[in-house]
Amino acid sequence: MDVFVYGTLTDPKRVRTVLETDRSDTAAAFVGRATLEGLHRVDGRYPTLAPGGTIDGRLLAVDDAGLERLDRYESVESGLYVRVAVPQMSRSDDRRGDMAGGTIDERCWVYVGDPDRLGVDVTWPGDGPFHDRVDGFVSRADIAVRRPG
């Protein structure tokens, strides 16, 4: 499965450390550059995402053990970050930037940090817990990871 990374996890050395790739039970590899459309980076205590815009990053392919390690690194259990699924698309010749501008290949994971805990001024629309607001926004908006080519 793929994970769109846009902060410290774009550094191969950091990824090797976090994923303990020297262990035989974890497999991970960068599979290329990508752009996340519909969200943009905001820097606070750690980088996070906010509605609107775009951000360039990388796709990291991991197995289940790797995803569990990423969840620990991003403190998903304590709610510092949430992990949400977004469509992953290949670009077509139609480059309008909307969902019609490519074909959905699969979904990939994206980590979004809680703005209150990271000290940034970001508002996610909706009511309820942070994870529900992010998940709701991502499921309703034209959010997608696009790979070049």
User: What is the DSSP secondary structure assignment for residue 148, as one 8-state letter?
Assistant: -
Tens of each residue's pLDDT in the chain, 149 residues: 999 999 999 999 999 889 876 655 566 789 999 999 999 999 988 999 999 999 999 999 999 999 999 999 999 999 999 999 999 987 553 444 444 555 556 889 999 999 999 999 999 999 999 999 999 999 988 999 998 86
* Helix (H/G/I), strand (E/B), else coil: 123: coil
Which residue do the tokens 């909706």 mark? 126
Of 65, 55, 5, residue with least CA distance to 30: 5
Which two tokens mark 107? 């979904």
Q: Please give the model's pTM, rounded to 2 decimal places.
A: 0.87
* Rounded to 5°, angle at Cα 78 from 75 and 79: 85
Give the HSE-up count for residue 14: Cα atoms under 13 Å, Cβ half-sphere: 11
Q: Hey, what domains does the chain have and what are their CATH numbers? A: 2-147 (3.10.490.10)
